[in-house]
Amino acid sequence: MPRFLAALVLVLATAAAALAQSAGDEIARLAPRWEEVSARIEAQIANPAIASDVLEGLRAEAVAVRDEARRLRDAAAEAVAPLRAQLDALGPPPAEGATEAPEIAEQRRQLSEAIARAEVPVKTAEAALRRAEAIISSIDSTLRGRFRDELLTIGPSPLSPGAWQAAAGDLMGRTQLELRDAMAGASRAGSALWVAAALAALGLALLIAVRGAVTRWFRARLARAMHGGRGGGLRGLLDGLGLMISAALIPGLGLVLIVLAVRTSGIVNGTAAPLIRDMGWLAIAMLGAYWLSETLFGPDVPARGLFPMGPDAARRARRATLVLGVVLGLDLMLIRGESAAWRSIESLSVISFVLIVLGSLSLWRLAGAIGAEVPAEARDDCDEEEGETGEAIGRVVRRLVVQAARLVAIVAPVLAAVGLNAAARFLLYPTLISGALFGACVVLVALVDEAVEAALRDSSGPPRLNGRLRLIPVLFGFVLGILALPLLALIWGARESDLDGIRAMLVEGISIGETRISPVDFIVFVVIFSAGYLLTRLLQALLRVTVLPQTSLDTGGQKAVASIVGYLGIVLAALAAISATGLDLSNLAIVAGALSVGIGFGLQTVVSNFVSGLILLIERPIKEGDWVKVGEVEGTVRRIAVRATEIQTFDRAVVTVPNADFITSTVMNRTHRSTTGRIILKVGVAYGTDTRRVAQVLSEVARGCDLLLPRPEPKVVFRGFGADSLDFELFCYLRDVTTMLDATTFLNHAIAERFREEGIEIPFAQRDIHLRDLDRIAALLRELRDGGEGGRTAQGRPAAGDEGARA
């Protein structure tokens, strides 16, 4: 047997080594190349004069080495894990001086040698991986330092006269050169000039005549649609979509024809050719600015604008947006384009300063238009409460945007004036592009929102479903915001390699101890848990509709079974999702133990209510529909949850009672096992009445009430002799305890009628007051009267002789 175990271990070790052979062979084959690439990159990045674009290329090579080494390392490490598990199964090695069985010692030796051989490629790949990561970190640090130095480098001030003289000389020289080239090109163009002229005329016609006619037509239709009601319905949606498309398509086509005409003419060539190629950026910027100004502000159809503002403010905002588009396009064409290489540093500084000042002034005007007071007629006609809340949030967001825009409009020209041209451009133009991106996202979300509202306006679906469908624009806006984050990062200076690193980190996840958590695992968890949750709800629905109605359980019992199945299904779905993601929760045992102590002290009440809710669902001392009284609360049970129970009082108020109160306190349930109940009526008759006749009358009245049970029979008890009456009690048993008030009212009316017929008197309390020593009281009153009259006579008032007249 020991020999068999040793042979089995040898076979397993050989199989594991075979599994790791392919990864090990590939590592051994690629290791020299990794070494050569890493050494070459290290030698190149040691040169401080190396260009940034070259560094980006070297970084890409290092990233390729890193990813390849990591993949092969993980593949080789998978073969080591079973060998280590087998070695751990043999237990710790014997202590010094101790011995173990020769077979076990041989197995331990073979496994140790197999692990050592299998770890050689793992360690080789790990070393290459660490070296590549160090190279990547060094290149990233160099590039960030260069970017920082570029922002903080002070260049020639555009305010110096020398800079303007140099810029003027450069401009005149370039203009003369380009005019000479244009004249030479015109002499050689021939018939191409006519083709270019036709293209230019067609482009101008699209920009001026066609664009104006189409937009005016759509605006008129929109105005009529908006006049008919808020949003304009499906017609308003289609007209708005047509206006948005025409605002982008027609001007874009016109600009393309004009640029094509200039290139076809042959007039512009030689030194002006790069400038013409860069004019595409100007056209794109102007087109985007025009589209945003039309869709965001809607100056011609105020009710259609996405920003609530008056017509005058909307027109100012549109003009400022158009100027900002021109400024951004000129910067892309003159500063960042190919033609910038022909200009001097002073000339670039002056051109950039002029554009920054013009853009800052326009940004200030745009901020003023956005921050202007919104007229009452431009506000949304929504509910008062929603309007106040939305208006408050809108004011806060508007104030923040206006303050940030004005700060940029102040700081950017100042930085450019002192020579920090790169910092000024980095502050102004990313702000403009970020605003354009935000505006485009707002337009898309508004378009989806209007589409949903147009679809639901004439819909006859249930309100709950319509409310959920109205969440589609919110979800779309959230997804759109997530997708816009990488673009914002690129706008504000992030490199594509930085985004690749973030993407790799998100895909591979982060390590917490020995557990690696990645977004993929999170998505798997959400998908599996959601599937389990949906299956649980489906099973609950099937139980409620098909299975439980066929059983002998009452309604409360059926709901309790369905609730328990729902809780068990959710727990199983969570366990399945955790198992599918491969999370090792054993490492969280200590943390869970510590949390349990905190739960025991801090969440004692919550846990108590939860356990009590489970007890209520299992033992069912109460159920939905029962008439219960717990403490001072009395009413009908409407819902039993795991934490609390809802009771609807007879005043139609809903009281939430913690479940622990039903377990720890006395609960009266009038309808637990049956709906029968008992009422007691107290009746008093006058002294002298025939008591046996009274008892007979009460019994006959009770037998004549259909709301009472015939068995047990009603019972009359002669309770005793009261201070004012002979006291009787009538005990009756109800068919349905919920008719207690009706039965009481019927019996009281019937008793009053029979007593009146039988001449039985219902007494009321009478009291006789006896006064003692009346003679002494009368004498005292006379003394008080005589003393009062004497005092009045002494003061000159009527004397005693006038008593008769006064009397």
pLDDT tens, position by position, 618-670: 777 888 888 999 988 999 998 887 788 899 998 889 999 998 888 888 889 98
Q: Cα dihedral angle (147, 148, 149, 154), rounded to 10 degrees?
A: 110
Residue 280 banded pLDDT, cuts 50, 70, 90: confident
Spatial contact of 329 and 285, defined as CB atoms under 8 Å apart = yes
Asked whether residue 521 falls in the same domain as residue 619, the answer is no
Spell out where 514-632 has E strands. 515-517, 627-630
Average pLDDT over residues 79-83: 76
Does any domain span residue 61?
A: yes
When mean pLDDT is compared over 48-57, 149-158, 406-415, the highest value belongs to 406-415
Note the pLDDT of residue 248.
65
> DSSP assignment, residue 55?
H
Residues 645 and 738 in one domain: no
Amino acid at 657: V
Pair 547, 644 in one domain: no
337 found inside a domain = no
Q: Which residues contact 412 (CB under 8 A, 6 or more apart)?
A: 356, 359, 360, 424, 425, 427, 428
Cα–Cα distance, 642 to 111 (Å, whole number)? 54
Tokens of 153: 């480098």
In terms of pLDDT, which residue wins out, 266 or 133?
Answer: 133
The answer as to whether 633 is a domain residue is yes
Residue 804 vs residue 350, higher pLDDT: 350
CATH number reported for the structural domain that contains residue 72 in this entry: 1.10.287
Enumerate residues 6+ apart whose C-beta is below 8 A from 373.
Answer: none
Q: Which residues contact 772 (CB under 8 A, 6 or more apart)?
A: none
Angle, CA 209 vertex, CA 203 and CA 215 arms, to 5°: 110
Are 631 and 755 members of one domain? Answer: no
64 and 88 fall within a common domain: yes
Q: Residue 194 above 80 pLDDT? A: no
pLDDT of residue 806: 37
Q: How many domains does the chain have?
A: 4
| CA within 13 Å, CB half, 92 | 4
Residues 539 and 621 both lie in one domain: no
User: What is the dihedral sign for C-alpha 226, 228, 234, 238?
Assistant: negative
How many C-beta neighbours within 10 Å does residue 596 have?
A: 10
In a domain, 92, yes or no: yes
Has residue 12 got a pLDDT over 70? no
* 71 plus 148 within the same structural domain: yes
Are 311 and 319 within 8 A, CB to CB?
no
pLDDT for res 48: 85
pLDDT tens column, 224-269? 655 554 445 555 556 666 666 666 677 777 777 777 777 666 666 6
Q: Distance between CA atoms of 644 and 659, rounded to whole angstroms?
A: 5
Q: Which two tokens stand for residue 462?
A: 């249930």
Give every CB contact of residue 35 below 8 A, 6+ residues apart in sequence: 128
Q: For residue 618, give the amino acid letter.
A: I
Question: Of the given ranges (138-152, 234-248, 572-586), which has the lowest mean pLDDT?
Answer: 234-248
DSSP 627-654: EEEETTEEEEEEEE-SSEEEEEETTS-E
Mind listing the pLDDT tens digit for each residue in 289-328? 888 887 788 665 554 556 767 778 888 888 899 999 999 9
Of 670, 694, 713, which residue is a domain's last? 670
- Indicate whether 13 pLDDT > 50: no
In a domain, 305, yes or no: no
Q: Is the same domain home to 685 and 733?
A: yes
Say if residue 700 is in the same domain as residue 659.
no
User: Is 491 part of a structural domain of the chain?
Assistant: no
pTM over 0.75: no
User: Of the residues 642, 670, 698, which one is the last residue of a structural domain?
Assistant: 670
Question: Residue 672: pLDDT band by 50, 70, 90 thresholds?
Answer: confident
Under 8 Å between Cβ of 409 and 364 = yes
The two tokens of residue 470 are 């109205």
For residue 189, tell me if it sits in a domain. no
Structure tokens at 362: 């326009």
3-state secondary structure of 722: coil
Which stretch, 46-55, 202-211, 607-616, has highest mean pLDDT? Answer: 46-55
* Dist. CA 348–CA 328, nearest whole Å: 15
Report the C-alpha gap between 529 and 534 in whole angstroms.
Answer: 9
Considering the domain boundaries, does residue 328 fall inside one? no
User: What residue numbers bound the domain in which 736 lies?
Assistant: 674-796
